[in-house]
Amino acid sequence: MRNQTVCLVAWLTACAADGSAPPCRAPSGDYRVTARERSGTCGPIPDEVDSTDTGELPGCMQTAYPPDPGETGCTLTYSRSCRARDGSLLVLGVSIERQEDDETWSGAADVEAQDASGRTLCHSLYTVTFTKR
């Protein structure tokens, strides 16, 4: 079975043969990503399909932290910043947790858009869900 990661990235998790929780590791493959704005000024984000297999996006820098098994399951956290040709910047922070079905990750995303001078254009918090395709 496979699982995904957050907004624009996903990863793989295999089920343990004895029925216990799968190991906590980054999922891979394709995931349908849905984001619902909880607060802020950026507005809706359309659903999209993300793949962990596409590598780095042009103009983006990503920091991914090792999966954390924690006390309640498997949590993935990463941040990404992407600079456009006009100098504007999109900053994304994501923290998601693997769900019991081993096909879904859900959590929160913090999104901020800035113009070329660094002025904040919008900032929003989203509830995000990644579902294995």
Per-residue pLDDT averaged across 16-45, rounded?
A: 82
What are the φ/ψ torsions at residue 52 (nearest 5 degrees)?
-80, -10
pLDDT range class, residue 87, cuts 50, 70, 90: very high
pLDDT for the residue 24: 84
pTM for the predicted model, two decimal places: 0.77
End-to-end CA distance of the chain: 11
Q: Answer yes or no: is pLDDT of 8 > 90.
A: no
Domain ranges of the chain: 30-132
pLDDT range class, residue 55, cuts 50, 70, 90: low
Residue with tokens 């990863």: 11
Cβ atoms of 88 and 116 closer than 8 Å: yes
pLDDT range class, residue 53, cuts 50, 70, 90: low
Instruction: Tell me the two tokens of residue 89.
Output: 């910047």
- Tens-place pLDDT, residues 96-120: 998 888 789 999 999 999 999 999 9
Per-residue pLDDT averaged across 47-73, rounded?
A: 79
Per-residue pLDDT averaged across 39-65, rounded?
A: 84
pLDDT range class, residue 23, cuts 50, 70, 90: confident
